[in-house]
Structure 1
Amino acid sequence: MEKSVGVFWRGEGPTWLVLIATFLCWAGLIIFHQIIPWYLLMIGGGVVAALHASLVHESVHCLRTAPGIKRVPDWLRSALFFLPVGLWFPYFTYVRSHTAHHRDAWLTDPDQDPESFYWRQQDWHGLNRVVKMIMIANQTFAGRMILGPFIVLSWLIKYELGCLLINAKGVRRTWALHVAGIALLFALVSAGAGMPWWQYVLFFAYPGLVLSLIRSF
């Protein structure tokens, strides 16, 4: 018994259970969305999408280096998170970004850490007053909830477009897979469960991003 319990914990058993529960809850909300009040759907959808984002984070860490067992193969991790439940971020873009974020020598360095909210002094002085006010507001709890999603997505678009324009290695493949994942997601949601795509964005993707930004605030 003790040996089984040990294998469960060493094999990241709780993470696997949360992953299964997350997908079951996600499917339940999608299937029964027509009988769920919109405000409960937004809360539930946001929580599920944010939890999925946390699991994506865990896939970069514990599912790659789970002690006591052979780490989960890259192809299996990619398959598990191919469907972009949170919609916005390609899986491999996040893997690349978060791996760079954890290079400790560069942590929070605005030139090297893609997840840093810090600014170089010369860049900060180059911003106009309105942008400075927005960035300062983004460092508050309310600002992170209201402004954060738009700021993060604008940074994502700007950075990834730059990578596409210079044909950076792997970026086109990453976005091709992401677009395919979005197509599959909306096929399941709209064709399979009758939920319009814009409702998914409103009730799942947007609140999920808001909650994810609160988690990392």
Structure 2
Amino acid sequence: MAIAVLIYASWIALTAFHAQVPLPVLVVLGGWLVAWQGSLQHETIHGHPTGIGWIDGAIGFAPLSLWLPYRLYRRSHLAHHGAKVITDPGTILNRATVYPDAAPSPPRCNRPWSAR
């Protein structure tokens, strides 16, 4: 809950004092806060931090990125978790959990002067 307060308070402060903040700093801090709040929204969809739906929804509701309304994001994200073809690690459509095989280690160079 403290993180949610920190994110929203920082966003409000950054917005209120944007004219006094150098543009590169504003872009970096604003981008970081938008990303962090997006992560917070994702957690609220999965029942964190409180486990009480309406409270978690209220925490994640503000669309700081102005990209996607919370209710639409919540609905589409939960549908994503309901589609086994997307969320099953064994399917080709689940790119998030398909990892390439580990590459073999390169051969070691036998240099007489190197420490062993």
TM-score category of the 2 structures, normalised to the smaller one? 0.5 to 0.7
Residues 60 and 70 of structure 2 are in contact (CA less than 8 Å); yes or no, is this contact kept in structure 1? yes
% identical equivalent positions: 34
- Would you say the 8 A contact 2:61–2:70 is kept in 1? yes
Report the aligned-residue RMSD.
2.7
Q: Deviations over 1:78-100 (max 9, x none)?
A: 33233211111011111111112
Cα shift readout 1:4-53 (whole Å, capped 9, x = no counterpart): xxxxxxxxxxxx12111111111111111111111110000000011111
Q: Which runs of 4+ in 1 moved over 6 A?
A: none
Q: Which residue of 2 aligns with 1:91?
A: 70
Q: Which runs of 5+ in 1 are unaligned?
A: 1-15, 110-115, 118-217
TM-score (norm 1): 0.38
* Distance (whole Å) between structure 2 residues aligned to residue 78 and residue 42 of structure 1: 27
1:102 aligns with 2:81: yes
**Unmatched 5+ residue regions in structure 2?**
89-93, 96-116
2:4 paired residue among 12, 19, 41:
19
**Matched residues, number:** 92
How far apart, in 2, do the equivalents of 1:80 and 1:105 lie? Answer: 28
Q: What letter matches 1:89 in structure 2?
A: L
What displacement does 1:77 show? 2.8
Which of the residues 16, 26, 45 maps onto 1:31? 16
Instruction: Confirm or deny that 1:76 pairs with 2:55.
Output: yes
Q: Answer 1 or 2: which has greater helix percent.
A: 1
Question: Following the alignment from structure 1 to structure 2, what is the Cα–Cα distance between the partners of residues 52 and 85?
Answer: 7
Q: What amino acid sits opposite 1:71 in the alignment? A: G
Aligned partners of 1:94, 1:30: CA distance in 2, in Å? 24
Larger RCO (CA under 8 A, 6+ residues apart)? 1
Equivalences for residues 112-191 of structure 1 within 5 A: none
In the TM superposition, 1:38-77 aligns within 5 A as 38-63=23-48, 71-72=51-52, 74-77=53-56
